[in-house]
Structure 1
Amino acid sequence: YWSSLTLRPGAKGLSTDVCVPISRLAGCVTETEADIAEMGLIAPIVGHAGDGNFHVLVLMDVDSPQEIALAEKFVARLNMRAIAMEGTCTGEHGIGQGKVGFLRHELGHGVEVMRTIKQALDPLNIMNPGKILPRA
């Protein structure tokens, strides 16, 4: 992370990751590199290829609405690419607030199963209310 920031002094890094079946890893990385080039981003890629998980650090000016929008567009394309390749929009970091919008794309009706389990374990909705599962 810290060494990547030197590629664009003053920029902040938006870290993201996806995970795909190993047989799709090379194609996913290649398509992601093409997106980076096409969008004119500085976004190093690192990964642990043994499990199909790789990370991208998008370096951007967080005071620029245009750069924020471009980074969000890039991450959305990356997430949807991984899901289309029978992978997941997140590897080891789990679904967080930044990727919750992709949960239904990835799991479909499985989200309702998760909601049912959450309701059973937390009927008062006091554990991270609204954090991962969007309100019904």
Structure 2
Amino acid sequence: LGLGGHSEALLASFPTARLIALDRDKEALRLSGERLAPYGDRATLVHAVYDELPEVLARLGIPKVQGVLFDLGVSSMQLDEADRGFAYAQDAPLDMRMDQSTGMGAAEVLNTYPPGELVRILRAYGEEKQAKR
């Protein structure tokens, strides 16, 4: 969902479409909710991760969909706001969570995980071959 630009374009282009949008970032949901408010009940915004889509659709009583758009990754808002902890060019706490209401931030991981575990994480998820350096 992000800030709702793609969603707004879809709703504007397809007047009979209904949008079910998921995002794990509560701030993105709030901001996109303001943007998509003119579309009323055609837009349903849900705090969830993309792999929860089947459960979300079941909860909403939607048996099938005609299309899906996945816009995955970090948004410009998350990179631009220092307090989100994604931008290393700014002096701010290192957080890096898409959903700041769950889990531990990057600073806590770096300060508590054993070095070997950090190397494993960087290799497995960051595809960083030089992780030991």
TM-score w.r.t. length of structure 1? 0.31
Which structure would you say has the larger Rg? 2
TM-score w.r.t. length of structure 2? 0.31
Q: Larger RCO: Structure 1 or Structure 2 (Cα < 8 Å, ≥ 6 residues apart)?
A: 1
Looking at secondary structure, tell me which structure has more strand per residue: 1
